[in-house]
Amino acid sequence: MKSKQIAVIIAIAGIMGYLYLQPVKGLMKSKETETHAEDDGHEHTAAPANSVTVEQVSETGKTAIGEQLAAKITDLEGKLKAAGEADKLSLQKQLATEWDAVNQPGPAAFYYKAIAQKENTAGNWIDAGNRFNDAWKLTQDTTAQPTYLANAVEAFEAARKLAPDNLDAKTGLGTAYVNGGAPSPMQGISLLLEVVKQDPNNRNANLNLGIFSMKSGQYDKAVERFKTVVAQKPEVEPYFYLAESYKQLGKKKEAIEAYNKCKEMMPDPTFGKRIDEYIKELN
């Protein structure tokens, strides 16, 4: 399997995983305002979840990418096991890069975390947190999700200690909090709203606020968020969510236009056929 094919499969999996959005427990359906629950000044992390290891998610990742693409990764893993302490960091960086190249954020996240533990910078912790958030979003393995979520919160909180004003760290932490990494998802919404107040066009904050608006049934607000995102950089994922939001609002013409944009950007037969089915339902 080629890496380009894997990218298509991952993109489809990510989108399809959000087709039937479940409400986030505790996420209010009331008007989105900045009066949601404020941060109480304490750090809140998800319950420790150490049952899933990098070795386990690596095996899952190798199955997904196939033997040919996995060969180099297996070789690097062998070298890492035999390496002295002085050589481990270089090999961990190579493994993180290789897993990124085949669109497998789960194993990549663990290696980025290992890098951050050795090179304690905000950027390294943000890299790790982003991969853990992506892995949480893409996996269907409910046993792995708590591990990804707990590690995402840990990584972004570490980043914020080093760079309190960093918007990427605040966005990532807000996303992880809403996904279940804090006692109340409103803590995450508050962080994301702080980001867009400071940077109205912030891509990741708007994308996630749009997704959470969909989950709480606020499709009109979701449309505005996704329009902000696609205006900056048209991509399949926000266009798909935009189409779904328009559909829920009964705006068939706008929904069909957005669905067709998805097809243009992802010329995959399987995906295209599914999009055609959605369009047919609207006609």
How far the first Cα of the chain sits from its last, in Å, is: 36
Q: Which ranges of 39-183 does DSSP label H, i.e. alpha helix? A: 54-65, 67-82, 85-101, 105-118, 122-138, 145-162, 167-176
* d(C-alpha 30, C-alpha 36), whole Å: 10
Superfamily for the 207-283 domain = Tetratricopeptide repeat domain (1.25.40.10)
pLDDT of residue 248: 95
Model confidence at 22: pLDDT above 80? no
Give the pLDDT confidence of 132-191 residue by residue, as tens digits.
Answer: 999 999 888 889 999 999 999 999 999 999 999 999 999 999 999 999 998 889 999 999
pLDDT for the residue numbered 200:
97
- Reported pTM: 0.85
pLDDT at 159: 98
Q: How many angstroms separate the CA atoms of 40 and 173, rounded?
A: 15
How far apart (Å, rounded) are the C-alpha atoms in residues 27 and 30? 9
Rounded Cα–Cα distance for residues 79 and 98 (Å): 14
Q: Do domains 9-21+47-199 and 207-283 have the same CATH topology?
A: yes
pLDDT score at 38? 35
Contact 188, 204 (CB under 8 A): no
Does 97 score more than 60 pLDDT? Answer: yes
Q: What is the pLDDT of residue 174?
A: 97
**pLDDT value at residue 160:** 98
Q: Let me know: does 233 contact 268? Beta carbons within 8 Å.
A: no
Which residue stretches of 17-66 are H helix?
54-65
- Tell me, what's the pLDDT at 283? 85
**Fold held by 9-21+47-199:** 1.25.40
268 pLDDT band, cuts 50/70/90, is confident
Would you state the pLDDT for residue 30? 41
Please compute the mean of the pLDDT values over residues 186-205 and round it to a whole number. 96
Residue 40, pLDDT above cutoff 90: no
* pLDDT confidence of residue 44: 40
Does position 67 have pLDDT exceeding 50, yes or no?
yes
For 202, which DSSP code?
-
Grade residue 36 by pLDDT with cuts at 50, 70 and 90.
very low
- How far is C-alpha 142 from the geometric centre of its chain's CA atoms? 16
Among left, alpha and beta (phi > 0; psi -120 to 50; other), residue 70 is alpha
Closest-CA residue to 17 (of 196, 214, 206): 214
Split at pLDDT 50, 70, 90, the class of 41 is very low
**Count of all residues that appear for the chain in the document:** 283
| Across 30-51, average pLDDT | 43
Domain boundary assignment for the chain: 9-21+47-199, 207-283
Cα–Cα distance between 95 and 112 in angstroms, integer? 9
How far apart, in whole angstroms, are the C-alpha atoms of residue 155 and residue 141?
21
State residue 47's pLDDT score.
43
